[in-house]
Each structure stands twice: as structure tokens, then as C-alpha cells.
């Protein structure tokens, strides 16, 4: 992953926040969840962050002429870190939802994927509360999928996890009956040796715009209108010039931008 940190020639650049916008040489601290989220944000053996979202970040920041610094923070701490000024943006597969918009602003969406259910093979269930009644349903904590499961699958026994990998591992090991997650993250698991051996896609869950929102966006402070405009223009530019599609084809066999 390419990290670009701009230094003023011959001097150390102090980073200050003016009118809510990181100002020094347009350096922007971008928060990503410290918990790996393949294939979007994954640290390699050397600790460098890789994945679709990192490649997308590099492209968008280059287009916007921003020097973006990846800053890992626990998923639960991303929004507090943004509002307190510890980071300047969030690019960590965060859904644009009315609840989150009470605290922060978002860029235009940069991808969208429905929630889906994966279960152990041969269970013959459907993505309904009746079918999941009494079953142990795994989900990553503090996600839109957790909110969806609480609302739409009240008769399932919900078990939460810190990372998506932990959910997948418990499903493979038989400690849960099914899981709910973004379809785009479930497909790599189903194509893995463990996933192919144990599990199958039950189907996408019915849409709930109130919970899932219109898609995934860059989280920003509500006062950062200039930075928001820069990111929106850059998202449009990398989609228009083919960069977005070129990055996506490295990871997916389908269009993750969605409708």
C-alpha cells in the first residue's frame, strides 16, 4: 500500500485543524477499523494495510490531491476519533445511515452491497425470522447487520463478534448455525477452502433502507464541507476514468458499486 506523507521542504509541517479541516499540506488522517475486514482492509505480514478499500483510498486521495495517512482504530472508536479530531475521515466500509448522520457527515456512496445469510450446508432455511427461530445467528458487533438482525430476526439467538473472520470461523467450526454479513464479504469466505467445505449462501435479506442506508460512504465531520466536496469530486473522477473498475476487478467478479 502506498502511504504518502507530505513534508514541507526543509521544515516540519505542523498539522492543525482550521474550520474543521486538516490544513497542513492537505494531510488527511484516514481512519480504518483495526479489525481486519477482508477483502477491504487487511494488514499484510509486514503490517502494511492492503485491500480494495486501501487501493480505492489511494486513488481517491491522489485525485483529490490529498496526502492520506492510514490510521487504524478499533471499529467502535472510529466515530469518536473523527468527532474529537484524532482523525479527519473514515474509510472503513461504514454505511450511510440516519443514525450515524446525527453525529457525522458522509461523502457520496462509493459502494453498496446487500446483507445476506450464510448457513451450514443442508439446513434448508430461508432468510426469515420464522426459519431462523431458535438458531444461533452470528454477526459482527456494532454493524448495520447487527441492527438488522435485532429488528428482523428477534426469534434467533444473536451472537456478536469483534471481527468478521471470527464469525466465519465459528460458522465453520459449527458453533453457530448461520451468520448475517454483507454479501460482498461473504463471497470470498464461501470461495475459501473452509467456506466451500461447510457452508452455503441462503440468500440476501429483504431491503431496509432505514438500517442499511443508500450505501457505503466516507465519514467526515459535519463542519468539513470543503473536504467533503473534494472527496465527492474525486469519487466521481475515479469512477469516470475507469480507475474504480480497474481496482474492483482485482478483487471482485461483479460490480460492487450497486444501484
Whether 127 is in a domain gets the answer: yes
Same domain, 94 and 31: yes
- Which DSSP string do the residues of 137-166 spell out, in sequence order? EEEETTSHHHHHHHHH-TTSEEEEESSHHH
Whether 121 is in a domain gets the answer: yes
Question: How far, CA to CA in Å, does 66 sit from each of 25, 35, 90, 147, 251?
Answer: 8, 25, 14, 34, 25
The pLDDT assigned to 5 comes to 34
Same domain, 74 and 152: no
The pLDDT assigned to 241 comes to 98
Same domain, 148 and 92: no
Same domain, 103 and 67: yes
Q: How sure is the predictor about 12, in pLDDT bands with cuts at 50, 70 and 90?
A: very low
Range of the domain at 23: 17-112+214-249
Alpha carbons 52 and 55: distance in angstroms, whole number? 5
Is pLDDT at 148 greater than 90 in this prediction?
yes
The pLDDT assigned to 259 comes to 72
pLDDT mean over 228-243? 98
Same domain, 38 and 104: yes
Whether 259 is in a domain gets the answer: no
Q: What is the CA radius of gyration of the chain?
A: 19
Choose among 100, 55, 61, 56: nearest CA to 82.
Answer: 100
Same domain, 161 and 201: yes
The pLDDT assigned to 79 comes to 98
Is pLDDT at 166 greater than 50 in this prediction?
yes
pLDDT in tens, 175-210: 999 999 999 889 889 999 999 999 999 999 998 988
Mean pLDDT value across the chain: 90
Same domain, 83 and 104: yes
pLDDT mean over 115-133? 95
Whether 154 is in a domain gets the answer: yes
pLDDT in tens, 24-44: 448 999 999 999 998 999 999
The pLDDT assigned to 25 comes to 43
In CATH, what number is assigned to the domain containing residue 145?
A: 3.40.190.10
The pLDDT assigned to 23 comes to 44
Angle between helix 52-63 and helix 225-240 axes, rounded to 10 deg: 110
The two beta strands, 115-120 and 178-182, are: antiparallel
Same domain, 132 and 168: yes
Whether 2 is in a domain gets the answer: no
Cell numbers that stand for 76 in this block: 467502535
Alpha carbons 186 and 44: distance in angstroms, whole number? 20
Same domain, 218 and 108: yes
Whether 130 is in a domain gets the answer: yes
pLDDT in tens, 75-108: 999 999 999 999 999 999 999 999 999 999 999 9
Choose among 40, 61, 58, 63: nearest CA to 50.
Answer: 40
Choose among 101, 181, 184, 171: nearest CA to 146.
Answer: 181
The pLDDT assigned to 20 comes to 44
Alpha carbons 216 and 112: distance in angstroms, whole number? 6
Alpha carbons 204 and 185: distance in angstroms, whole number? 13
Domains in the chain: how many in total?
2
pLDDT in tens, 51-84: 999 999 999 999 999 999 999 999 999 999 999 9
Same domain, 220 and 203: no
The pLDDT assigned to 87 comes to 99
Whether 221 is in a domain gets the answer: yes
Same domain, 38 and 76: yes
The pLDDT assigned to 114 comes to 84
The pLDDT assigned to 253 comes to 80
Same domain, 45 and 61: yes
The pLDDT assigned to 222 comes to 98
The pLDDT assigned to 193 comes to 96
Whether 98 is in a domain gets the answer: yes
Is pLDDT at 174 greater than 80 in this prediction?
yes
The pLDDT assigned to 26 comes to 83
* Ramachandran quadrant class, 142 (left: phi over 0; alpha: psi -120 to 50; beta: rest): left
Please, how many CA atoms are within 13 Å of residue 226, restricted to the half-sphere of its CB?
10
Cell numbers that stand for 206 in this block: 429483504
Amino acid at each position: 500500500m502506498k502511504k504518502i506523507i507530505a513534508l514541507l521542504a526543509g521544515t516540519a509541517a505542523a498539522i492543525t485543524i482550521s474550520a474543521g479541516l486538516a490544513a497542513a499540506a492537505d494531510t488527511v488522517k484516514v481512519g480504518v477499523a483495526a479489525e481486519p475486514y477482508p477483502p477491504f482492509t487487511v494488514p499484510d505480514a509486514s503490517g502494511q494495510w492492503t485491500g480494495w478499500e486501501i487501493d480505492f483510498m489511494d486513488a481517491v486521495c491522489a485525485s483529490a490531491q490529498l496526502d492520506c495517512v492510514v490510521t487504524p482504530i478499533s471499529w467502535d472508536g472510529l466515530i469518536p476519533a473523527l468527532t474529537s479530531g484524532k482523525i479527519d475521515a473514515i474509510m472503513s466500509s461504514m454505511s450511510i445511515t440516519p443514525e450515524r448522520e446525527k453525529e457525522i457527515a458522509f461523502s457520496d456512496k462509493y459502494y453498496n452491497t446487500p446483507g445476506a445469510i450464510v448457513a451450514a450446508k443442508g439446513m434448508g432455511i430461508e432468510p426469515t425470522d420464522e426459519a431462523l427461530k431458535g438458531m444461533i445467528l452470528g454477526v459482527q458487533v456494532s454493524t448495520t447487520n447487527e441492527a438488522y438482525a435485532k429488528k428482523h430476526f428477534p426469534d434467533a439467538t444473536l451472537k456478536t463478534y469483534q471481527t468478521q473472520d471470527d464469525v466465519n470461523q465459528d460458522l465453520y467450526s459449527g458453533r453457530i448455525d448461520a451468520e448475517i454479513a454483507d454479501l460482498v464479504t461473504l463471497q470470498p469466505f464461501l470461495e475459501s477452502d473452509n467456506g466451500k467445505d461447510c457452508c452455503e449462501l441462503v440468500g440476501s435479506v429483504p431491503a431496509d433502507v432505514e438500517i442499511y442506508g443508500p450505501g457505503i460512504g466516507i465519514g467526515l465531520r459535519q463542519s468539513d464541507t470543503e473536504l467533503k466536496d473534494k472527496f465527492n469530486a474525486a469519487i466521481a473522477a475515479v469512477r469516470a476514468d475507469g480507475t474504480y473498475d480497474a481496482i474492483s476487478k482485482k478483487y471482485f467478479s461483479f460490480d460492487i458499486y450497486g444501484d
